[in-house]
Structure 1
Amino acid sequence: MCQSNVHHSLHPFAWVFYAMGLLVVSACTVGPDFSRPAAPSQTTYIPDPVAATLPAQGQAQHFLSGAAVAPDWWRLFKSASLDTMVHQAIANNQTLQAAEASLRRSQNTLMAGYGVFYPHLDAHAGATRERNAPLQPGLTTNGSIFNVVTLSGTISYTLDVFGGERRSVEGLQAEVDYQTWQTQAAYLTLTANVVNTAIARAAYAAQLHATEQLISLQKQQLQTTQVQVHSGTAPFSAILSLRSLIASNEALVPALAQKISQAEHLLATLEGVAPSEARLPDIVLTGLSLPTDLPVSLPSLLVRQRPDILSAEAQLHRASADIGVATAAMFPSFSLTGTYGAAGSDMGSLFASGGRFWSVGPSVDIPLFHAGSLWFGRKAAINAYQQATANYRQTVLDAFAQVADALKALEFDAQALQKQAEAQAAAEEALRLLQANYQSGLVTYLDLLIADVQLHQVNIAYLQALAQRYQDTVGLFVALGGGWWNAPASTENRQQP
């Protein structure tokens, strides 16, 4: 008799789980299965690519197609001070730490999303004191006061028959991928900003030093001119002209000093400290080494390396999964719930056989009429996918254009720097000869003044061209994605999130 009761009490559970098994076996996943966009077929970024730039001051930069991009590419400038600043920024930059926290949040959200694939078990305990009102159900008896103590457990499970939950988790995984590449993009942007700002700071310092040297030279010329004026061999206007030139050049000093301080403040911010607490090492512009062997990834590999392209791909994946979620919402949803518990008037009677209760059974929610909201919701998800597709393609085009710009910029930089070096050498030689002739009275002061101004302009232009060559080299490494995929598995630098 006892066995028979147990057998009959299990029948509802057995039937429900049998039905659940049939539904799971016959389940499908609606919506498109995501596939990565095909890699581009082109092999170059610009028409008629060159193998190397023209040599500028004896240094040509060679473009090595398909060569590996160094993950710590800034070390190629061979500056210990630059390495120190980059490492300090990686360790303390707040933007990078925020990106890493966002990545961890998306990872934990994904883990939470996996819970939908498992049964949910909940427990409930309660104790109440009540007074009933028999008149409510139409009885004429007097009300009574009684206690109710309950203890129950509920298990529920969502049957993902049409794959809506699976698509939702797929979207959460795509979000993790997106945050991963956003973190890598923040890392790449940070290292590039530190290196570029350090180069700019060194260039401003070099220009300031050159300007101060020129002012010192012009003051010496002023003393010589004053002697000539007193002896009657030069007009007084020569003194006035030279004083005006000195004042103009001295006006450049605070402007350059301001640019240096702004660069230092930016470096402090990138390194995660207040400007008043920054201790920045000095970098000499001419002490940097120019990377001469430059890798150039193939376009088909670039789309698998650049963080912004991979981020756009992750967004495309998320949009694809959202179509499945919106499609599944148009179909019935199934769930299974079972409850078992006991009730009594007090704790002592809680486990009496008469107070036990249970329920088990499936439920189905069928969308019948939603005024087109589900249909148009799916259409909107498809439109979002189309938008993500266009954004991905545009991101790829922008990336290719950035690499092309960097390659051409380095070609032009070499040409410009070589001409600036030639102009600098000619201006220095012309000034030296004119100074000697001026001392001998063979040329006028105006000739010397013109040569002085020309040398100043040439020196500044040369330093600017040199800094631009360094920064465009940085731009190429950034355009290629920074080489994070070549980082060793265990490294002290956070080169791969």
Structure 2
Amino acid sequence: MNRLLKGSTALLGLVVLAGCAVGPDFHKPDLPKGMDYQSAPRTATAGHGGTGAGVSQTFQTGVDIPGKWWEIFQNPSLNALVEQALANNQSLKAMQTGLKSAWEQRRIEGAGLYPTLSASFNPTRNKTSRVYSPVPNNNTWLYNVHTAQLTVGYVPDLWGGTRRAIEAAGAQAEIQKFQLEATALTMISDLVNATIEEASIRAQIAATQDLIASQKSTLALIMKRQKLGDASQQDMVSQLASVAQLEATLPGLNLQLAQTRDQMAVLVGVAPNSPLPEFRLEQFTLPQTLPVSLPSDLLNQRPDVRAAQAQIQSASAQVGVAIANRLPNVQLSALPGQAVGTMSDFFKPGYGNWTIAATVMQPIFQGGSLLHAERQARDNLMQANETYKATVLSAIQDVADSLHALDFDADALQANQSAYDATTQSLKIAHAQLRLGDASELMMLQAQQANAQARLALVQAQGTRYSDSVALFQSLGGGWWNRNDLGMTPAAQKALGKSLVPW
């Protein structure tokens, strides 16, 4: 009874030890108090009208971000292109495979919670020297031995080192997951911006071509007046230079357009010679209402912040692993087997053998490596905490920058619209005065150049307003939690990312 009591006490002690895990437990950091995007309350942006890039935009605080946020631009071609990119983009597929690999690494670490079992079979033919007595019980010098052996091993996780290693591997998989989400968000944002850039470039090309046609009409008028002696050679040469200068900008714009479409093709996962839809600014609708998450929500929404959180957890778990490596450990083993002289003797009584062993290991001196490994793990934890704080600040700055851009670029668009309206009116007046001979060719040329610059600036400002909305959604995390970017079903994600069952 005393022996049973002692054995039960020892077993209970092992169970209690196996229930604890050394090292710090991970706690999700909180957002520092008082952090916000702006010191002043947010107000609607400048704007007018109900359509186009000039509308006013308002902000809704605390509203969830839709997973398919690009659909707010109401462009079916864009929607189809993004879906194609999510299905075909090679960088995203590579990240999805990398996540599966990271989850498998977690399951590799989880195998340490289970006993190990292996089997071996060793048939031998043996001859004993006549210097010795015959070894087998049949007193022969030449004999066979067939050994079948099982090896059973188990290392109790007394200090939780294995569980900390599983936690660290799981956190590394989380890092991989949020790097995947960041890749998907960047890919989507780049693709949407590329379509807006294409539309803006096409508008700039159209504006330049219209201006070239207008300049050529003016050139023809000056040439007629020059023949009549009513215009100088200098006037004609100046107008020729103006036309040539505008024509020289077209190759650069066409190059930008071609390169933008090449970028779109690669993001979609196809070759640059593949057919893609064409985009124009009038196909996009600027959203009049934009969601703005609370700063505290960024801790869960931003992939880079979540990856930094996971890095803290991984570093925290590695401290526990380093501490457990310095503590005593127990290894249990059993070697049941059977050794026979002939195969027919297998499974007959009397030929079995077994060994049961327990080994207690305590590191004593490894040149200080275990101590320094623990110190290194603690330093890595401190580094991860500081990196996390910097990542949070950067995330809040991104949202603040996006909100500022939305405000000031709306003001810039209004100013550019006013400038374009004024230069268009001035150009009409200059045309009329030139026909009546009440204005010089130089005045006409200056009016045309001012109008050309104002129209190009207006087109660029219109594209910028669409891009600002994209930047806001990107800075808020892009709603990844409302869609599935992982390339596998939720059931498969649960089986790989949560379970430690060894099959």
Q: TM-score, normalization: structure 1?
A: 0.91
CA contact (8 A) 2:123 2:144 kept: yes
Q: In the alignment, is residue 251 of structure 1 matched against residue 248 of structure 2?
A: yes
Q: Does 1:219 align with 2:211?
A: no
- Structure 2: 5+ residue runs without aligned partners? 494-503
Query: How far off its partner does 1:305 sit?
Result: 1.1
Could you tell me which of 84, 98, 114 is aligned with 1:118? Answer: 114
For 1:227, give the aligned amino acid: K
RMSD: 2.6
The CA deviation at 1:488 is 9.2
* Displacement of 1:472: 1.1
Give the drift of 1:26.
Answer: 3.0
- Contact 2:134 2:141 (C-alpha < 8 Å) held by counterparts: no
257, 262, 284: which one aligns with 2:259: 262
The structure-2 alpha-carbon separation of the partners of 1:359 and 1:281, relative to structure 1 and needing over 3 Å to count, comes to: same
> Counterparts of 2:231 and 2:8 in 1: how far apart (Å)?
111
Q: What's the CA shift for 1:339? A: 1.2
Which SS does the other structure have where 1:353 is aligned? coil
Aligned to 2:291, the other structure's residue is in SS state strand
Over 3 Å counting, the alpha-carbon distance change for 1:79 and 1:134 in structure 2 is farther
Q: Is 2:428 the counterpart of 1:432?
A: yes
Aligned ranges 1:45-444 → 2 under 5 Å: 45-56=37-48, 59-132=55-128, 139=132, 144-276=141-273, 278-444=274-440
Q: Secondary structure at the match of 1:47?
A: coil
- Counterpart CA distance in 2 for 1:298 and 1:50 is 13
| SS across alignment from 2:357 | strand
**How many angstroms apart in 1 are the aligned matches of 2:8 and 2:119?**
21
Query: Does structure 1 conserve the Cα–Cα contact (< 8 Å) formed by 2:110 and 2:162?
Result: no
Distance 1:80 1:493, change over 3 A: farther
- Amino acid of the structure 2 residue aligned with 1:149: H
1:39 pairs, out of 9, 31, 44, with: 31
User: Contact (CA 8 Å) 1:40, 1:299: kept in 2 or not?
Assistant: no
Measure, in 2, the Cα distance between the counterparts of 1:427 and 1:133: 114
The Cα shift of 1:344 comes to: 1.4
SS of the aligned residue for 2:265 comes to: helix
Letter in 1 for 2:282: T
Contact 1:42 1:300 in 2 (8 A): no
Q: Which amino acid aligns with 2:34?
A: Q
Q: What's the secondary structure of 1:159's corresponding residue?
A: coil
Equivalent-residue separation in structure 2 for 1:422 and 1:492 (angstroms): 51
Distance (whole Å) between structure 2 residues aligned to residue 485 and residue 442 of structure 1: 66
CA displacement at 1:20 relative to structure 2: 5.0
Q: 1:421 to 1:493 in 2, by over 3 A?
A: farther
Q: Report how many aligned residue pairs link the two structures.
A: 481
Q: Which amino acid aligns with 1:404?
A: A
Query: Which amino acid is the alignment partner of residue 38 of structure 2?
Result: I
Measured after TM superposition, the shift of residue 487 of structure 1 is 4.5
| Cα distance change, pair 128–140 in 1 and its aligned pair in 2 (3 A) | closer
Distance in 2 (alpha carbons) for counterparts of 1:163 and 1:311: 24
Tell me the distance in 2 between the aligned counterparts of 1:243 and 1:492: 62
Alignment-mate amino acid for residue 143 of structure 2 = F
Shift in CA distance, 416/355, structure 1 to aligned 2, threshold 3 Å: same
2:26 maps to 1:30: no
State how 1:474-493 maps to structure 2 within 5 Å. 474-487=470-483
**Structure 1 runs not aligned, ≥5 long:** 1-10
CA distance in 2, matches of 1:447, 1:30: 83
Q: CA deviation at 1:140?
A: 8.3
Partner of residue 6, structure 1: none
Q: Percent identity?
A: 36
Distance in 2 between residues matched to 1:211 and 1:74, nearest whole Å: 29
Instruction: Write the distance in 1 (CA, Å) between the matches of 2:447 and 2:350.
Output: 112
C-alpha separation in 2, matches of 1:191 and 1:56: 29
Partners of 2:234 and 2:141 in 1: how far apart?
A: 118
Distance 2:173 2:250 in 1: 50
Contact 1:56-1:414 within 8 A present in 2 as well: no
Instruction: Kindly state the Cα deviation for residue 474 of structure 1 after the two structures are TM-superposed.
Output: 0.5
Q: Partners of 1:312 and 1:144 in 2: how far apart?
A: 70
Aligned partners of 1:296, 1:429: CA distance in 2, in Å?
Answer: 40
1:361–1:50 distance in 2 versus 1, CA, 3 Å: same
Distance in 1 between residues matched to 2:107 and 2:410, nearest whole Å: 52
Instruction: State the Cα distance separating 1:161 from its structure 2 match.
Output: 0.6
Q: CA 1:119/1:401 → structure 2, altered by over 3 Å: closer, same or farther?
A: same
Say which SS state the counterpart of residue 126 (structure 2) adopts.
strand
Contact 2:121–2:147 at 8 Å: present in 1 too?
Answer: yes
TM-score between both structures, scaled by the size of structure 2: 0.90
Give the C-alpha shift of residue 351 in structure 1: 3.4
Instruction: Deviation per CA, 1:412-463: give whole Å up to 9, x if none.
Output: 0011000000000011111011011111111000000001111111111111
In the TM superposition, what whole-angstrom CA distance separates every residue of 1:49-91 from its partner, at most 9, and x where no partner exists? Answer: 3221122566111111112222211111111111111111111
CA deviations over 1:203-255 (Å, ceiling 9, x no partner)? 11110111111111111111111111100000011221111111111111110
CA distance in 1, matches of 2:459, 2:95: 36
Q: What is the alpha-carbon distance in structure 2 between the residues aligned to residue 368 and residue 144 of structure 1?
A: 48
Contact 2:58-2:289 within 8 A present in 1 as well: yes
Q: Is the 8 A contact 1:420 1:461 kept in 2?
A: yes
Deviates more, 1:30-39 or 1:381-390: 30-39
Change (3 A) 1:369 1:337: same
Shift of 1:465: 0.9
Distance 1:447 1:133 in 2: 120
Give a deviation string over 1:143-175, Cα, whole Å, max 9, x none.
944322111212111111111101001111112
**Cα distance change, pair 362–441 in 1 and its aligned pair in 2 (3 A):** same
